[in-house]
A and B are shown apart, each in its own frame.
Chain A
């Protein structure tokens, strides 16, 4: 075990700061709390002063959000775990950008897990990097997040969901077929992407396929039903999903 991760806690509620401090003291021996703040202004000062490894950051604070704070560190070199009380629009953006977050009230086990992930990443020397936070900032700007983080063999890649033609399951891996004849293998289950994308123009006509409705060329009724995509691929439609697919297609506009 190398040195402890120097940790800063920023939350407008002192109770929350104290609670996180005591959980860290009791359960997370790999962390050391070195700074605390209750708002964006002192938070920025504390970070500049201490140069921490890890920041627990509340999203909603009076006089500026956690995102406002991050915007002041374009070249940041610390990891961030967001803490938020509400499952609102920001969560979607955070999930899309693959940044860690914890919901309030804090479940101690989940907290320990999140700390474990940070410690593991640090030990692998792959810091969160600024890219994920940049993607997050961009995703926050629109109600439809535009940059989906996918872990590839050499780090993170950020894709606009619009460019994804389809995703195909390959056991616990997923193949991404991207506009422009590109193909990426991702070590994540198809279901995880379905969770993020299914309220958009994505549909799962078959257990191993998630398709972008934008790229559907036509529906072929023969042989139990197939979907022809614009890249020429044929996607089977499960018998029991045909009606739902047709209903989705009917609702889908451009």
Chain B
């Protein structure tokens, strides 16, 4: 195609030249006209490619590779025709890199887009680039910069009367405030978003704004910070009023589920049921399975609260069915959890277990998904930090140069300004750190709960109970069963807190040891020794820290050995921590490792202690301590392995 085009152009030039011998002046100008129209055609082509690329990106379907082909063709045209890459192409490239995770390139492209659109006066693009930067900074954790970028987008759009961007920018600011847990900022930005949406006659944004504002008053429990039943109710209703103007079924149905949830928290079950059912009327025909699953699950929980288990189960099952259609892990996760809880309440422990296992399965998927995202997050933050440091250095150098010119007064002003910036920055950074840590804490506690309720242990214990039943030993069966239920009760209780009094932790550990020693008759003795200085009711420690180590000692050290062993747990109060020493006379770590490698090829069994170790790291970060775990391989006089000693430094939580 291109060759043909070239030949035609060449022919045309030859022809013009041939005629041109007679009228030389006009020819050159006609060539110029031809060239500039060619250029216009190229620009249109580039713009078309960019538009198509953005469309693909924003619809979020398919893979970003398609976008890449659009970008490459556009760049090719620019290079061939020696056109400077336009701002809109830079922006598209930035968005593309952002989606594919190459954040450094994304920020470089965005900078170019920023510069070029300022130069060319394309304010629409400038605003859009700022909008993009808002999102970029939020992801990289630079919250102050994110807010600033969104503000830029808003002020440019306001000045140049650009429609459609201001509500998006306020929405973005709301995301930032949500991330740092600033409820006031959240609500303020949403109110501004709604106002802007009305100004621009944009009902969808207004609707979304009201819905999110309503959500902020909803909370997850009646005691959630900022919960206000009435305000939430009226805001969500406003959102529905607006959506009556322009129907967005998904948003409308979501509003209905929020209303239902709001009533549920107030225990007004009739109204709650009404709204969840109404939401289903919209979502079922529209195949909005995620929202349907949520409504069904909530209806299940309402009926479970109303003590109508048959009805509840029916709804739960439907909820699960819909959630599975769209692999909605979150809804599966909590529906199984609620179902297990219902069975537990009605005393149907076997079904409670079954659902508990499923709940754990999905919560694990949910958590590991979060973990992977978290990992990507950390990487992004690291890269962004490195980049920011470079920029900081450069800007400091620049400022130093100016310093000589402006003299001492300028210096003072600069220092105080930098100080102010640092102060603001560090405040935001602290908030970010705290919210990040809270997330980590809840994740790790959850992972640890799963570890504590090691399925192996649960089912083996049940098996032993069955054995005693079969032996017609009523008292032993009863004793075993009630011990097991006490342990479950304790574990469920303890796992609701990040820290518990040592006494609670020890009574769970004691029950665990009792059950294990019952199960492996005469296989080992155990002793828990608590230093007199420790007040187990007052000294609080992170939940479920010791048990995984003890389980390790028993399962990998004592069970494989010949003859009877022991595990001793000793707790001593040190200045800033409790020293917990777990000592066994088992086969030792070397032999245990060999055994597990022989059996499974890898040592996945150390998962429990790995989680615990990461929790110690977290405690160190939180409380500024330097606690650790020390393993010692014990040897007898002949130098043969004779057990393992683990010393854990457990932080005392004030």
A residues near B (Cβ < 8 Å) are: 13, 62, 85-87, 103-110, 191, 194-195, 198, 203-204, 207, 238, 240-241, 243-244, 247-248
B269 to chain A, nearest CB (A): 16
Cβ contacts under 8 Å, B201 to chain A: none
**B493 interfacial by beta-carbon distance below 8 Å:** yes
Contact status A105-B485, CB under 8 Å: yes
Instruction: Name the contact of B537 in the complex, choosing from A87, A109, A198 (C-beta under 8 A).
Output: A198
| B479 contacts A204, C-beta separation under 8 Å | no
Q: For chain B, residues 534 to 553, give those with C-beta under 8 angstroms from any C-beta of chain A.
A: 535, 537-539
For the complex formed, measure the closest distance between the CB of A237 and the CB atoms of chain B, giving whole angstroms.
12
Considering the chains assembled together, what is the distance between the CA atoms of A195 and B489 in angstroms?
18
Kindly state whether residue B475 has any CB partner on chain A within 8 Å.
yes
The answer to whether B537 and A105 touch across the interface, beta carbons within 8 angstroms, is: no
Q: Is the CB of B573 within 8 A of A62?
A: no
Residue in contact with A108 in the complex, picked from B347, B479, B483, B538, CB distance below 8 Å:
B479
Bitwise interface map of B from 378 to 392 toward A, beta carbon under 8 Å scored 1, else 0: 000000000000000
- Tell whether A194 pairs with B479 under 8 Å between CB atoms, given A13-B347, A87-B493, A240-B573: no
Is B535 within 8 A of A195, CB to CB? no
Hey, which chain A residues are within 8 Å of B481, CB to CB? 105
Query: Would you call B155 an interface residue if the criterion is a C-beta within 8 Å of the partner chain's C-beta atoms?
Result: no
A241 x B538 contact (CB < 8 A): yes
Q: How far is the CB of A229 from chain B (nearest CB, A)?
A: 18
Q: Tell me whether A240 and B533 are in contact (CB under 8 A).
A: yes
Q: CB distance A198 to B538 under 8 Å?
A: yes
A214 to chain B, nearest CB (A): 18
In angstroms, how far is the closest chain B Cβ from the Cβ of A11?
11
Q: How far is the CA of A103 from the CA of B486 in the complex (A)?
A: 9
The interface residues of chain B lying within 8 Å CB-to-CB of A103 are 482, 485-486, 489
- Name the contact of B479 in the complex, choosing from A87, A109, A195, A241 (C-beta under 8 A): A109
Contact B489 A87 (CB under 8 A): yes
A62 and B652 alpha carbons, distance in the complex (Å): 43
A191 touches B307 (CB 8 A): no
B409 interface hit (Cβ, 8 Å) = no
- Contact digits for B566-578, partner A, Cβ 8 Å, 1 yes 0 no: 0000000101000
Contact of A191 with B537 in the complex, beta carbons under 8 Å:
yes
Residues of B within 8 A of A85 (CB): 345, 347
Complex Cα distance, B32 from A155, in Å, reads: 113
| Cβ contact within 8 Å between B485 and A244 | no
Residues on A with beta carbons closer than 8 Å to the beta carbon of B575:
240
Are A107 and B478 in touch, CB under 8 angstroms?
yes
Say whether B25 faces chain A, with CB atoms less than 8 Å apart.
Answer: no
Inter-chain contact A62/B482, CB cutoff 8 Å: no
Q: Is the CB of A241 within 8 A of B535?
A: yes
The digit string for B509-552, where 1 denotes a CB below 8 A from any CB of A, is: 00000000000000000000000110101110000000000000
Give the A-binding residues of B (Cβ under 8 A): 307, 345, 347, 474-475, 478-479, 481-483, 485-486, 489, 493, 501, 503, 532-533, 535, 537-539, 573, 575, 652, 654
Shortest CB-to-CB span from A128 to chain B, Å, is: 25
Q: Is the CB of A244 within 8 A of B652?
A: yes
CA of A198 to CA of B500 in the docked complex: distance in angstroms?
Answer: 12
Beyond the given A87-B489, A191-B537, please list 10 additional residue pairs across the A-B interface where CB-CB is below 8 A: A105-B482, A106-B482, A107-B482, A108-B479, A198-B538, A204-B538, A207-B532, A240-B533, A241-B535, A248-B654
A45–B649 CA distance with the chains assembled, in angstroms:
59
Give min CB distance, B223 to chain A, whole Å: 12
- How many pairs of residues, A versus B, come closer than 8 Å at their CB atoms? 56
Residues of B within 8 A of A207 (CB): 532, 535
Give A111 to B478 CA distance when docked, in angstroms. 11
Query: Could you say which residues of chain B place their CB within 8 Å of the CB of A110?
Result: 482
Q: Which residue of A lies closest to B503 (CB)?
A: A195
What residues of A have a CB within 8 angstroms of the CB of B478 in the complex?
105-108
A-B contacts, 24 of them at CB < 8 A, read: A62-B307, A87-B489, A103-B485, A105-B482, A105-B485, A108-B475, A108-B478, A110-B482, A191-B537, A194-B537, A194-B538, A198-B501, A198-B537, A198-B538, A204-B535, A204-B537, A207-B532, A207-B535, A238-B533, A240-B533, A241-B538, A243-B654, A244-B539, A247-B654
Contacts of A204 in B (CB 8 A): 535, 537-538
Chain A residues within 8 Å of B573, by CB: 240
Bound: A240/B347 CA distance, A:
44
Residues of chain A lying within 8 A (CB to CB) of residue B345? 85-86
Task: List residues of chain A with CB within 8 A of the CB of B307.
Answer: 62
Q: Is the CB of A195 within 8 A of B654?
A: no
Nearest-CB residue, chain A, relative to B533: A240
Chain A residues positioned under 8 Å from B538 (CB to CB): 194, 198, 203-204, 241, 244
Chain B contacts of A86 at CB under 8 A? 345
- CA separation between A110 and B475, bound complex, in Å? 12
Instruction: Give the docked Cα–Cα distance between A106 and B474 (Å).
Output: 12
Whole-angstrom distance from the CB of A175 to the nearest CB of chain B?
19
Q: Which chain B positions have C-beta within 8 A of A238?
A: 533
Q: Is the CB–CB distance between B537 and A195 below 8 Å? A: yes
- A207 and B46 CA atoms in complex are apart in Å by 81
Inter-chain CA distance A241–B478, complex, in Å, is 41
Please, which residues of chain A bring their CB within 8 A of the CB of B654?
243-244, 247-248
Which 5 pairs, one residue from A and one from B, show the smallest C-beta to C-beta distance? Answer: A247-B654, A107-B482, A108-B478, A198-B537, A194-B537
A13: B residues at CB distance < 8 A: 347
Residue of B nearest to A203 (CB): B538
A202 to chain B, nearest CB (A): 10
With the chains together, A147 CA to B207 CA distance in Å?
Answer: 52
With a cutoff of 8 Å between Cβ atoms, the chain A residues found around residue B485 in the complex are 103, 105
Tell me the minimal C-beta distance from B112 to chain A in angstroms: 52
* Complex contacts, B475 vs chain A, CB 8 Å: 108-109
Bound-state Cα–Cα, A204 to B538, Å: 7
Closest CB-CB distance, A81 to chain B, in whole Å? 16
A residues in contact with B482, CB < 8 Å: 103, 105-107, 110
